[in-house]
Amino acid sequence: MPDTINLLTENVANKIAAGEVVLRPSSVVKELLENSIDAGSQEIRLYVNDGGKSLIKVIDNGCGMSDIDARMCFERHATSKIRVEDDLLNIRTLGFRGEALPSVAAVSHVELKTRTIGEELGTLVSIEGSKLITHEPCQCQEGTSVTVRHLFFNLPARKNFLKSTNAEMRHVVDEFLRIALGHPSVFMGLYHNDRELYHIEPSNLRKRIVAVFGKNYNERLVPVDESTELLKITGFIGKPGHAKKTRGEQFFVVNGRFIRSPYMHHAVLNAYDDIIPQGQYPLYVLQFHVDSSRIDINVHPTKQEIKFEDEKVIYAILSAAVKKALSQFSVAPSIDFDLEQSIEQLSAISAPIPTEVHSGPGHTVDWSPISRGDKTITIQSDWPDKKEAEEETHEPSESVPYQLHRKYMLAPVKNGLLLIDQQAAHERILFDKFKFLMETNKAACQQLLFPQNMELSHNDFTIAQEIIDDINALGFDVKVFGMDSLIIHGVPADIEVGQPSELIDQLLDQFKDNNSNLKLEPRDNLALALAYRAGIKSGRKLSREEMQQLIDELFACTNFQKSPSGKTILVKFTNDDLETVFAKKS
Ligand code: ADP
Ligand code: MG
């Protein structure tokens, strides 16, 4: 048999390596920004066109490269960051493999201009698909600029996989913000299609978080500061009340490097344990300062995961640090044991036929309002079963609704008993109402005395921009107001609003959450998001009149059995059901 093994040429090897390192424009952005940080830059500007699909350019004022290095840096495994094997155990820079630039240059057209401090002339190197095109002296600023065009020009399949400009841009912005949060003392600018998206001045971490997420974040932050022999943890966590249903505000930065770590994430959630609902995520931007010999960065192709030598100990320290911060700033609310207990009892009544409807030790239900029956209720309109409904409206039952565990309404009706989930019921009522108002253009708007300016993250802004007409159809009066900000002139007239900007913020959060969990048209999604935000929640005490109104309005809805997000609104127990239960002898 002839020999069949070949040694790949450098170009082919680079193209293969690029497959691991360069997945999309944002991967290029990540590598270039990391190089600029490693070069000690104090100012970094990122220019992107069409989400990075047609242009990515990073200009820094870092140390620059010599003429020879400017050519060398495109060779595989050429790096200034490690020299000998032992250096691998002690990495202090973001890069170290010498793979990024050759990989990028293998799949695009790259132009590098660089000048070291004190040199009169700089160097220009251009490379297209690993092929050297130019290498000559040039006039340029101190520092380095790298321009990447025609990404994946020689990998058509990968090019076809790229998403819309908006989607790619979201990834680019994510990478940009990760670097910005990891290096607060560096000026960072981002420009998309010649529009300035971010202009982030050098500052401390708190100000940087505010610059990234918006002014209203300042008061949400709780500082964390914990020093142990093993590591130092500094940074900020969010107050529990502002936890969100979507992720995107969780950052671990280990020695300046953004990393993902489900394990450490769990440690933080663990500290928030009882004070935020399941499925919500608190903000955190936590910096770990740890001896670089105690971590291994070389475990992931794009270095987004690392291995801690003392993982379990760090978990414990982190969790304790977060708990301490929460309690020091006394943001952990006193826990409402009554409510807790009520929720625990839930299982007893969610069964189709209630075998026992009392609420356990130390918590007796007062049944008297029902039997006293001092007010008549009428269940109007459709009742789950048409025939029974007719009977109901003919002869209204003489009793009042009763609230159970601040969560359910117990409504005796002539031929049985209804158990209605107050939150799901109100969600249905409001959803139908908002949809009607949107469709008929009848939503009333209450103008604010002082229009409110609101800054958004770039991603939220992009979403808001796409659905702004629908937002206004709900009764808002909101307009785009320059870069990543909105101006709120008015809010829907008949809902409790509080802070208008908070409402919009929550609305967008809910909208994103619905988008990922339910398949809805944007309008339905928005109507649902507002219904959820404005609706009566479990845990709220309702007066008899409020319950009466809720029940009446619920039965005026076409679909009163299921909430728009798919939850059961009511369970019915007929007199026959009850007879059967109590007829059983045990
Ligand atoms: P790595 O970052 O792993 O060393 P890269 O391929 O990203 O590998 O870069 C190769 C080398 O090029 C770096 O080690 C560094 O010496 C040099 N370099 C890259 N970008 C810059 C920059 N913006 N400023 C100065 N030097 C740079
Ligand atoms: Mg690098």
Q: Are strands 250-254 and 284-290 parallel, antiparallel or unpaired?
A: parallel
How far apart are the CA of 30 and the centre of ligand 2, in A? Answer: 9
Q: Which residue, among 30, 47, 27, 43, has the nearest Cα to 143 in the 3D structure?
A: 43
Local confidence band at 247 (pLDDT 50, 70, 90 cut-offs): confident
The ligand whose atoms approach the alpha carbon of 144 most closely is 1
Q: Is 96 a pocket residue for ligand 1 (Cβ < 6 Å)?
A: yes
Residue 335 has pLDDT above 50, yes or no: no
Instruction: Report which of residues 376 and 577 the model is more confident about.
Output: 577
Residues 6+ apart with CB under 8 A from 95: 31, 34, 35, 38, 79, 81
Query: In the structure encoding, which two tokens stand for residue 581, read together?
Result: 């239960």
Q: Which residue, among 299, 538, 576, 546, has the nearest Cα to 400 in the 3D structure?
A: 546
The ligand whose atoms approach the alpha carbon of 102 most closely is 1
Mean pLDDT within 259-283: 90
Residue 212 has pLDDT above 80, yes or no: yes
pTM: 0.64
Predicted pLDDT at 57? 98
Q: Which residue, among 513, 486, 510, has the nearest Cα to 214 in the 3D structure?
A: 486
What share of the chain in percent tops pLDDT 70? 88
How far apart are the CA of 203 and the centre of ligand 2, in A? Answer: 25
**Mean pLDDT, the chain, as a whole number?**
83
Mean pLDDT within 49-54: 95
Predicted pLDDT at 279? 84
Q: Which residue, among 56, 47, 3, has the nearest Cα to 27 in the 3D structure?
A: 56
What's the CA gap between 540 and 422, in Å, rounded? Answer: 9
Best residue among 73, 93, 115 to mutate for probing ligand 1's pocket (most ligand atoms within 8 Å of CB) is 73
Give the CA count within 13 Å in the CB-facing half-sphere of 445.
18
Predicted pLDDT at 290? 92
Predicted pLDDT at 2? 80
How far apart are the CA of 336 and the centre of ligand 2, in A? Answer: 51
Q: Is 345 a pocket residue for ligand 1 (Cβ < 6 Å)?
A: no
Instruction: Report which of residues 336 and 320 the model is more confident about.
Output: 320
Predicted pLDDT at 207? 95
Atom of ligand 1 nearest to the CA of 93: 2
Q: Give the environment of ion ligand 2: residues with CB less than 5 A.
A: 35, 95, 100
How far apart are the CA of 80 and the centre of ligand 1, in A? Answer: 7
Measured by CA distance, the residue closest to atom 2 of ligand 1 is 95
The ligand whose atoms approach the alpha carbon of 37 most closely is 1
Measured by CA distance, the residue closest to atom 17 of ligand 1 is 73
Give the CA count within 13 Å in the CB-facing half-sphere of 18.
26
Mean pLDDT within 431-454: 87
Q: Are strands 187-192 and 43-49 parallel, antiparallel or unpaired?
A: parallel
What's the CA gap between 583 and 581, in Å, rounded? Answer: 6
Facing residues of 199 across strands?
189
Residue 496 has pLDDT above 60, yes or no: yes
How far apart are the CA of 88 and the centre of ligand 2, in A? Answer: 15
Residue 66 has pLDDT above 60, yes or no: yes
Measured by CA distance, the residue closest to atom 16 of ligand 1 is 80
Residue 365 has pLDDT above 50, yes or no: no
How far apart are the CA of 249 and the centre of ligand 2, in A? Answer: 25
Q: Is 80 a pocket residue for ligand 1 (Cβ < 6 Å)?
A: yes
Predicted pLDDT at 331? 55
Q: Is 95 a pocket residue for ligand 1 (Cβ < 6 Å)?
A: yes
Predicted pLDDT at 30? 96
How far apart are the CA of 339 and the centre of ligand 2, in A? Answer: 53
Mean pLDDT within 537-550: 88
Q: Is 62 a pocket residue for ligand 1 (Cβ < 6 Å)?
A: yes
**Amino acid at position 313, single letter:** V
